[in-house]
Amino acid sequence: MVGENIQRIRKFQGITLHVLSERSNVSKAMLSQIEADKVNPTVATVWKIARGLEVDIQELLEGAREPKRIFQHDRFEDITTLDTEADGVQIHVLSPLSMVGDLEMYIIAFEEGARLASEAHFPKTEEFLTVLEGAVRVTAGENSTDMKKGDFITYHCDIDHTIENLGNTPAVIHMVVRYNAATGRI
Amino acid sequence: MVGENIQRIRKFQGITLHVLSERSNVSKAMLSQIEADKVNPTVATVWKIARGLEVDIQELLEGAREPKRIFQHDRFEDITTLDTEADGVQIHVLSPLSMVGDLEMYIIAFEEGARLASEAHFPKTEEFLTVLEGAVRVTAGENSTDMKKGDFITYHCDIDHTIENLGNTPAVIHMVVRYNAATGRI
DNA sequence: GAACATAATTCATTATAGTAAACAATATGG
DNA sequence: CCATATTGTTTACTATAATGAATTATGTTC
């Protein structure tokens, strides 16, 4: 997976293994083997390659998931049994009452460990979430994503979803909820 | 650096090297050496550790990384977003290109004295502005309002309008623009 | 402070990441 | 065609990542 990303970016930039080797100080033999997924590079090597390609290391690691990711069952149970509804979560409604059911905007603050669980909204409802401070984990269905300050995510929320602050500092997010009342939008 | 992050998160979770070793399938000897920065782990090993800690691998590799933007509709997919800067105004586009002309979201940073002037948008276009840091003055037509951190305003912007930072500190706002394209929506 | 338990570090060994150099494959030109 | 670069792969070797077992440190309880 890492190899595919490296090769894709290298080919896109139109540079050879030799050039990338010079720019990254990684031998072209190693680059060849990494791209062919024959070896298991160290983080230091991937760092060098990322610098040589002038991309962020996450660009190279994206999609590089471990084959089998299993949910830790004990932890999952812990989370589901917590009854922290609006406990440690402060919701600040920005949008006026006239917009309820249309387009709603909030500032939401999470204390350490706080979580906000939402049941499925009406069909085609979308949420737009921007992290203003700290970090949160957003889980919608089976998908789960960790986000930091400055990160943005949008997702359909016609399934149950949760937002939780796993860090050791308060987290603040900006949330926009749009209720797509049978609009013909994409 | 990776070692520091791993140890910090492990200590925060209150688990031992032995437990993390079981959860990650990485020997505690290796974990010890990685935390002490005595070795140079492979990405596969760091992946296993990240899974054991239930964090994203970027959490472990990060020093200070650029904010990442995620666009998730039904599944995770990447988007391209634009960043423009001119005259002390930095515009950070959050929403994906697929939403242009529909619902757009931005983080906009103003240096001291900077101002952003917008011509009239299409009819019935609305803007929703939240001040995240500092203070700004919003002028639409003859109306003018001063806003500070935490304030929220919504206004129709089918006339020229400007946003300016009159203070002596940088200002940051969150902006939502909705183009009401003759929809039957309220 | 001896005895016990638990946590983290070192030690000895194996597996493999990483390199330089040789090799193979693909052009480009005369 | 042959010669000569240019690009990517394979080989031979060295450095070191990774492991399990032994060792040292850190508590706890009697």
Structure tokens at B176: 């939502």
Q: What pLDDT score does A71 carry?
A: 21
pLDDT band at A106 (very low <50, low <70, confident <90, very high): confident
Tens-place pLDDT, residues A1-60 = 789 889 888 886 788 899 999 999 999 999 999 999 999 999 999 999 988 887 878 778
Tell which residue, B180, B133, B134, has the closest CA to residue B154: B180
Quickly state the pLDDT bin for B101 (edges 50, 70, 90). low
- Asked whether the predicted pLDDT for residue B118 surpasses 60, the reply is yes
Centre a 10 Å sphere on the Cβ of residue B8 and count the other Cβ atoms it contains.
14
Question: Would you call B25 an interface residue with chain A, using a CB distance cutoff of 8 Å?
Answer: no
Residues A9, A49 contacting (CB under 8 angstroms): no
Distance, in Å, from the CA atom of A57 to the CA atom of A61, rounded to the nearest integer, reads: 7
User: Cα(B1)–Cα(A143) distance, rounded to whole angstroms?
Assistant: 29
Q: Is the ipTM of this complex over 0.95?
A: no
**B:46-105 residues touching chain A, CB 8 A cutoff:** 46-48, 51, 54-59, 61, 65-76, 78, 92, 94-96, 98, 102-103, 105
Give the pLDDT band of residue A72 (cuts 50, 70, 90). Answer: very low
Closest Cα in chain A, distance from residue B103 (Å): 10
CATH number given to B71-178? 2.60.120.10
Residue boundaries of the structural domains of chain B: 2-61, 71-178
Q: HEC states along B156-172?
A: ECCCCEEEECCCCCCEE
Percent over 70 (pLDDT), chain A: 70
Residue B161 is predicted with a pLDDT of: 82
Bigger pLDDT: B119 vs A97: B119
Is the pLDDT confidence value at B135 over 60? yes
Task: Report whether pLDDT(B81) > 60.
Answer: no
The pLDDT, as a whole number, for residue A5 is 86
Of all residues in chain B, the percent with pLDDT exceeding 70 is 74
- Label each residue of chain A as H, E or C: CHHHHHHHHHHHHCCCHHHHHHHHCCCHHHHHHHHCCCCCCEHHHHHHHHHHHCCCHHHHHCCCCCCCCCCCHHHHHHHHHCCCCCCCEEEEECCCHHHCCCEEEEEEEECCCCEEEECCCCCCCEEEEEEEECEEEEEECCEEEEEECCCEEEEECCCCEEEECCCCCCEEEEEEEECCCCCCCC
Chain D positions with an atom below 7 A of a protein C-beta are 6-11, 16-21
Class of domain A2-61: mainly alpha
Instruction: Report CA A121 to chain centroid distance, whole Å.
Output: 21
Lowest mean pLDDT across A81-85, A173-177, B129-133: A81-85
- Mutation for A interface: B70, B124, B172, B175, most A CBs within 10 A: B70
Most confident of A1-10, A53-62, B123-132, B136-145: A1-10
| Cβ contact A43–B44 (<8 Å) | no
Looking at residue B162, its pLDDT comes to 86
Task: Map residue B111 onto helix, strand or coil.
Answer: coil
Please give the structure tokens belonging to residue A126.
């979308």
In this complex, do A66 and B74 lie within 8 Å of one another by their Cβ atoms?
Answer: no
d(CA A61, CA A81): 34
Residues A143-148: contacts with CB under 8 Å, at least 24 apart: A143/B72, A143/B75, A143/B76, A145/B56, A145/B70, A145/B72, A145/B76, A146/B55, A146/B56, A146/B58, A146/B59, A147/B70, A148/B67, A148/B68
Distance, Å, A16 CA → D1 C1' = 29
pLDDT digits (tens, 9 = 90+) for A80-100: 222 233 567 877 777 665 566
C-alpha B43/C-alpha B143 separation (Å) is 57
pLDDT of residue B98: 58
Domains A2-61 and A80-178 share a fold: no
For the segment B87-99, the average pLDDT, to the nearest whole number, is 71
Is there a contact between A110 and A164 (Cβ–Cβ < 8 Å)? yes
Of A177, A147, A178, A179, nearest to A163 by C-alpha is A147
- CATH code assigned to A80-178: 2.60.120.10
Looking at residue B69, the DSSP 8-state letter turns out to be: B
Question: pLDDT of A149-164, one tens digit each?
Answer: 777 887 776 667 888 8
User: Which nucleotide minimizes the distance between its C1' and the CA of A21?
Assistant: C19
pLDDT (mean) for B48-62 = 84
Determine contact, residues A166/A135, Cβ cutoff 8 Å: yes
